[in-house]
Amino acid sequence: MEKENKKQLDEELAELRIRLQEAEETISAIRGGEVDGIIFSGPQGEQVFTKTGAEQAYRLLIEAMNEGAVSLNQEGMILYCNHRFAEMVKTPLERVIGTPLRQFVRASDQPLFDALVKKGAQESGKGELVLIHNDGTVLPVLLSVSASQTAHVRSIVVTDLTAQKHIADELKRHREHLEELVKERTNELETSNQQLQKEIAERKQAVEERVNLQFQLNQAQKMEAIGTLAGGIAHDFNNILTAILGYSEFALFQLPEGSKAIEDIEQVIQSGKRATDLVKQILTFSRQGEQMHKPLQIDLVIKEALKLLRSSIPTTIDIQQHVVDCGLVMADPTQVHQIIMNLCTNAYHAMRETGGELDVSMEVVELTKQDYLDTLALQPGPHVKLSVCDTGCGMSKELQERIFEPYYTTKQQGEGTGMGLSVVHGIIKSHHGHITVYSEPGKGTEFHVYLPLVQAQDEGLAKEAGGEILPGSGTILVVDDEPTIGEMLKRMLNSLGYEVLLCSSSTEALEVFTQQRAHIALVLTDMTMPVMNGAELARRIKLLSPTMPVVLCTGFSAIMDEKKARRMGIDGYMMKPVILHKLAQTLHDILEKKSGSRPAG
């Protein structure tokens, strides 16, 4: 036991000796300057004191670094700063230390600075603010305040943000520039897009217009071809009928009274007359029938036709009429009558089963160039629009395309000839008008007829046509291969005071003209003649004497119309049958013009 105590005591003694040795070594080391630092522990934590010169390596680091380094006391006075900081504030180092750091901070940033420094007593903090140079320029910086281990000193690192700000500014500028470019490009694209949309719409419209035009052209060509064919056949057929009717009548006269054949021949004559009527209709369709165009107030004709219709159409069909005076149209009253009768009869047929409403209305419309393009028929200018609308069974698109063809009918045998709408079509075309149809199966049909209104200058002519007959004087060379017509023209001209040289062929006329051109005031020639037609004669006369007035007279000619004649230099154009008023007026105007333009003396 005692032995054990001794051993323990020995061990404690050895330990104490070691402690003592350590203490002595420590004191000796401190005394001998072997230590660089001493640590004090106290209520304020651990504080390290190092020997003078011991911090040299740190000082070198701090002086070499690119950031500013500053130590402040509790009052904010700079105790230490490195060279870099002195550069940052553009102030000599010796004038920086001992001054308050706050004086280098922009006034508006000083509250932030105060907060950072105050906070630095407990924890680290960072903040961006602006330093003011001694020369007044500014420097954006990041202030990093280290948590202080000693309450009375703050350590601050100051980082120059100029480059960073510059880069940020550059980036911002670039971004704004890019955004601007994007915006510009977007605008350009939007404009292009709108342009493109517009072009697409225009092209689409152009395609639609072309399709429509093609359709109109096809329709017109089809109707023209049918008209020519039907007209040709009808002419020949007419000649045959003339013979049939003529010889039948001869035969009828030669038959003894009471002959059984009389009734048979009368049947032949009756059928022949019916065939003649039909031929007339075909000729009307093909615009080769006789026409008497004169200035006409068509509302009167329409009203009359409707009165007639009302009496023949059952009362289950309500006729609404808005027929008003729309002005004058150059038209044949019989044919206008026929238009309204045919259209209304068709409308009645469409509503026969169910009853309904038949609406006939008129208005003046001003047509434009576009309407011409849409229809290929109508010239720009004022037109009378006559509408005939029914609430009947309507018709399909396919049907609408064919309704104007002769002998095309949807009616049962015996109900219609299939010529009604063809005749209407022919009449309207011969009046330089146009007809359109709009229909939907089960909803009814609308026909719109457009006829050109007589315009002011024509109106003057129209009035004069019915007024005073203007006399004249001078020699007129009249050319017509029909002796009766030639004679008639001669009498008419003589009655007006003119002298007449009458020729029955163009070759003869050319000869007479060559010999006597000095006495001739004007040439009046027929169009259709053998060997040399009126147009050719006119051309040759104009070659011989360019100022010689030539008036062309024609019944129907597929190769000549007024416009064409004017283009050829022909001075006047007259439709047969020639009316005295018109003849007098035309010759008077032309000769007046000629004498007016003749050089004085």
What burial class does residue 372 get, using C-beta atoms within 10 Å of its C-beta: 0-12 exposed, 13-18 middle, 19+ buried?
middle
63 is an interface residue for other proteins by CB under 8 A: no
Q: How far does CA 103 lie from the centroid of its chain?
A: 73
In angstroms, rounded to a whole number, what is the distance separating the alpha carbons of residues 47 and 49?
7
Q: Which lies closer to other proteins via its Cβ, residue 41 or residue 66?
A: 41
In angstroms, rounded to a whole number, what is the distance separating the alpha carbons of residues 184 and 176?
12
Return the residue of 5, 41, 457, 484 that touches other proteins, per CB under 8 A.
Answer: 41
Return the residue of 1, 2, 4, 39 that touches other proteins, per CB under 8 A.
Answer: 39
Write out the H or E segment, with its range, that includes residue 182.
Answer: helix 162-254
For the CB of residue 152, give the shortest distance to other proteins in the complex, in Å: 17
Strands (E), 121-216: 125-132, 138-146, 153-160
Return the residue of 8, 26, 191, 197 that touches other proteins, per CB under 8 A.
Answer: 26
22 is an interface residue for other proteins by CB under 8 A: yes
543 is an interface residue for other proteins by CB under 8 A: no
Q: Which lies closer to other proteins via its Cβ, residue 34 or residue 508?
A: 34
57 is an interface residue for other proteins by CB under 8 A: yes
Structure tokens at 111: 């509250």
Residues 117 to 156 in contact with other proteins, rule: CB under 8 A: 149
Q: What is the DSSP letter of 407?
A: T
In angstroms, rounded to a whole number, what is the distance separating the alpha carbons of residues 340 and 332?
13
* Angle CA 561–279–579, to nearest 5: 40
64 is an interface residue for other proteins by CB under 8 A: no
The amino acid that residue 429 corresponds to is K
Sign of CA dihedral 541, 547, 553, 558: positive
Count of residues interacting with other proteins (CB under 8 A): 26
For the CB of residue 48, give the shortest distance to other proteins in the complex, in Å: 5
For the CB of residue 19, give the shortest distance to other proteins in the complex, in Å: 9
Return the residue of 13, 35, 225, 324 that touches other proteins, per CB under 8 A.
Answer: 35
Burial code (b: 16+ CB inside 10 Å, e: under 16) for 540-549 equals: ebbeeeeebb
Return the residue of 10, 12, 36, 170 that touches other proteins, per CB under 8 A.
Answer: 36
Return the residue of 25, 170, 180, 508 that touches other proteins, per CB under 8 A.
Answer: 25
Q: Which lies closer to other proteins via its Cβ, residue 59 or residue 118?
A: 59
Structure tokens at 189: 């694209």
Q: Which lies closer to other proteins via its Cβ, residue 36 or residue 208?
A: 36
Of 48-56, 184-192, 252-260, 314-322, which segment contacts other proteins by CB under 8 A? 48-56
Of 50-58, 160-168, 399-407, 577-585, which segment contacts other proteins by CB under 8 A? 50-58
For the CB of residue 16, give the shortest distance to other proteins in the complex, in Å: 12
Q: Are 437 and 469 in contact (CB under 8 A)?
A: no
32 is an interface residue for other proteins by CB under 8 A: yes
Contacts of 282 (CB under 8 A, 6+ apart): 230, 231, 233, 234, 406, 419
Q: Are 574 and 306 in contact (CB under 8 A)?
A: no
Return the residue of 9, 13, 16, 18 that touches other proteins, per CB under 8 A.
Answer: 18
Return the residue of 29, 138, 243, 373 that touches other proteins, per CB under 8 A.
Answer: 29
For the CB of residue 84, give the shortest distance to other proteins in the complex, in Å: 20
In angstroms, rounded to a whole number, what is the distance separating the alpha carbons of residues 409 and 403?
7
Of 49-57, 117-125, 317-325, 514-522, which segment contacts other proteins by CB under 8 A? 49-57
Q: Which lies closer to other proteins via its Cβ, residue 54 or residue 469?
A: 54
Return the residue of 44, 50, 193, 214 that touches other proteins, per CB under 8 A.
Answer: 50
Closest listed residue to residue 376, CA positions, set 544, 517, 215: 215
Q: How far from 335 is each of 227, 291, 330, 341, 379, CA to CA, in Å?
A: 17, 8, 11, 10, 21
Contacts of 200 (CB under 8 A, 6+ apart): none
Return the residue of 45, 246, 460, 569 that touches other proteins, per CB under 8 A.
Answer: 45
Q: Which lies closer to other proteins via its Cβ, residue 51 or residue 126?
A: 51
For the CB of residue 157, give the shortest distance to other proteins in the complex, in Å: 16
Of 22-30, 304-312, 351-359, 557-565, which segment contacts other proteins by CB under 8 A? 22-30
For the CB of residue 15, give the shortest distance to other proteins in the complex, in Å: 7
In angstroms, rounded to a whole number, what is the distance separating the alpha carbons of residues 188 and 584?
69
> Euclidean distance between the first and final Cα of the chain, in Å?
180
Maximum Cα interatomic distance, the chain, rounded to a whole number of Å:
196
Q: Are 513 and 483 in contact (CB under 8 A)?
A: no
Of 26-34, 116-124, 316-324, 542-550, which segment contacts other proteins by CB under 8 A? 26-34
For the CB of residue 137, give the shortest distance to other proteins in the complex, in Å: 37
Return the residue of 16, 37, 191, 473 that touches other proteins, per CB under 8 A.
Answer: 37
107 is an interface residue for other proteins by CB under 8 A: no
Contacting positions for other proteins (CB under 8 A): 15, 18, 22, 25-26, 29-30, 32, 34-39, 41, 45-48, 50-51, 54-55, 57-58, 149
